[in-house]
Amino acid sequence: MRSCRRLLLLSMLLAAEHQGRTEAFSPMSIAPVRRDSSTVVSSTVENVFEQPSQQVAQDDLPSVTSAEESQSIQLRSVDKDVLINTSIFIIAIATVVTTVLSVDVGITRGWTAEEIALRIPLDNWRSYTNILSMAPIETKAVTSATVYTIGDIIAQKTEGLDIGKLDRGRILRSALAGLIGHGPMSHVWYHVSEDFFDNILHLHAWWDFVPKVVVDQLVFGPIWNNSYILLLGIMQLQKPGQIFGDMKRSTIPLLISGLKLWPFVHCITYGLIPVENRLLWVDLVEIVWVTILANEANNSEAQAGDDKDR
């Protein structure tokens, strides 16, 4: 009886064990494992595709940041020379415009626009002539300094320089050359020339401007051209040999260049313009001449530098 029970229990155990193995390897038991595998595979695939995009996004951040940083650096490193030169020009132009337009301040009440436009040039001219009569040499010196400043700026611009690359030292030297050189020397020359032809030679014919023009071109022209180069050389602390070498190289070319312009200009200078106003007329034309003169002096300086390098 006990042996029968043992056999029954053993058979039941074997049946249960067989059923458990069947369920362990049945499709229902494998399906969850497959589902887990597909989940793992899909998550792995998603990670594979997500990682590059995340990496690209992370790679884009430094480039954007670097671009912003470079832009901010460029804004901070704006050319100081551009700001300085532009500020100087704006201040100078504003000063001139304000001075010209304010000549009739306080007396324009009731004037029409046409009256103001007519009176401003006339009153500025009257103001200039009054100052000229009280301080002729100082007025002519400032006039020439202004003209030589404008001329040298034009000369540098014709050389292809931007506003930020303009040589302020060179402009200042040209202005000083006009201030202490051309203005006072021209004042003396025009009075001496007029006195010589009128009171010594007693030339009062209509054609007396012809010998005045000839003497001006052959005497005063070379004297001033070399004086200009001398003043620039002294201000640049050049050696005497270099200065006189520049004079020697520039004298004939400047004389020839001057013959292209000044004989025609001086026909008006000595034929029509009063003595006191000759420098103003000449200075207006001088802007063109100073451009030529500054270019010639700059070329001589560059040639001297090349010879020195050799």
Look at residue 63 in the predicted model and tell me its pLDDT.
53
Please determine, for residue 191, whether its predicted confidence score (pLDDT) is greater than 90: yes
Look at residue 46 in the predicted model and tell me its pLDDT.
47
- b (16+ CB within 10 A) / e for 28-47: eeeeeeeeeeeeeeeeeeee
From the list 81, 80, 64, the residue with the least C-alpha distance to 72 is 64
Distances (CA, A) of 175 to 7, 113, 131, 144, 288: 130, 36, 20, 8, 15
Question: Using CA atoms, how far apart are residues 129 and 12, in angstroms rounded to an integer?
Answer: 138
Look at residue 48 in the predicted model and tell me its pLDDT.
42
DSSP structural state of residue 272: T
Q: E strands along the chain, which residues?
A: none
Look at residue 217 in the predicted model and tell me its pLDDT.
93
Q: What is the largest CA-CA distance in the chain?
A: 174
The tokens for 221 are: 């022209």
Q: Averaged over 251-259, what is the pLDDT?
A: 87
Q: What percent of the chain has pLDDT over 70?
A: 68
Cα separation of the two ends of the chain = 131
Q: Helix, strand, or coil here: 117?
A: helix
Look at residue 78 in the predicted model and tell me its pLDDT.
52
Residue 244 burial (C-beta neighbours within 10 Å; 0-12, 13-18, 19+): middle
What is the tens place of the pLDDT at every residue in 96-154?
A: 889 888 888 777 777 888 888 888 889 999 999 999 999 999 999 999 999 889 888 88
Q: Averaged over 21-35, what is the pLDDT?
A: 44
Question: Using CA atoms, how far apart are residues 282 and 186, in angstroms rounded to an integer?
Answer: 10
Listed by start position, the domains of the chain span 83-134, 136-309
With cut-offs at 50, 70 and 90, classify the pLDDT of residue 57: very low
What is the tens place of the pLDDT at every residue in 209-248?
A: 999 999 999 999 999 999 999 999 999 999 999 999 999 9
